[in-house]
Amino acid sequence: MSHVAIIKSGVKLTPDFLAARHEMVEVQLRRRGIEDSRVLNAMLEIPREEFVSPEVHSVAYRDDPIPIGYGQTISQPYMTALMAELLELTGGESVLEVGTGSGYAAAVLGALAARVVTIERIPELAALAEANLARTGRGGNVRVVCGDGSFGYKELGPYDAISVAAAAPDIPHALLDQLKDPGRLVIPVGEIHDQELRIVWKQRGTVKSHVATLCRFVPLLGGEGWGGKRQ
């Protein structure tokens, strides 16, 4: 990442953060099978430390989820990259993200697609994500909304791709309805503590899915998540 790009983003970065980000991309992502050059470049460019609290800046690039308050976490870098890669974005898509958190994954998706709508149920986190995205220069094509993400966000749909950063007991019907045909949905599905990360394809009126890997996410709460009618 060039010095010009750093200045353009509006974020002042120390050499230690730059080195940590390069190591993250090479060791945690590329060596573990992430191949999409656009995803790798986005992860290299976006300052992850700006999406966690200053108290944990020193561990921002570890391959671990990091608490962001309100019982939520920012996903480990590998999972963020894997989910983005599985969507197979080419740059012109409209994407829905469910579970904004602090906004980091939305920033990555915004670097890969034309438009991102990201929905967060916790008002304080939605406000934090919007501030983080604006401060890092990543809010131009990302819209943050506050609401029940298990119902998606029909007002700006349908979407070419949907990424869900919380675990559902099953695939919410609302999200399938808001997915274009053709379209791709990536979502963790399973029990509260252990899930499968599923890739769901909609094509020519049919829906198919494939398990990409095992995973563990915070639960998707809401009307079509845990605690709702699908429990």
Residue 57 vs residues 9, 36, 49, 54, 112: alpha-carbon distances, Å = 18, 27, 5, 5, 25
Q: Is 229 helix (H, G, I), strand (E, B) or coil?
A: coil
Structure confidence at residue 7 (pLDDT): 29
In a domain, 21, yes or no: no
pLDDT value at 3 more than 80: no
Q: Is the model's pTM score more than 0.85?
A: yes
The whole-chain average pLDDT of the chain stands at: 92
Query: Containing domain of residue 205, as a range?
Result: 65-215
The CATH number of the domain holding residue 110 is 3.40.50.150
pLDDT for 130: 98
Q: What is the pLDDT of residue 4?
A: 28
- Rounded to an integer, the average pLDDT of 149-171 is 97
For 71-97, write each residue's pLDDT tens digit. Answer: 999 999 999 999 999 999 999 999 999
Report if residue 225 sits inside a domain.
no
- The catalytic residue among 2, 37, 75, 209 is 75
pLDDT of the residue at 14: 52
Instruction: Look at residue 141 and tell me whether its pLDDT is greater than 80.
Output: yes
Whether 57 is covered by a domain: the verdict is no
Is 94 annotated as catalytic?
Answer: no
> Would you say residue 146 has pLDDT above 60?
yes
Q: What is the tally of structural domains in the chain? A: 1
Is residue 17, in this structure, part of any structural domain at all? no
Query: CA-to-CA distance for 144 and 97, rounded, in angstroms?
Result: 9
- For residue 135 the two structure tokens come to 């401060």
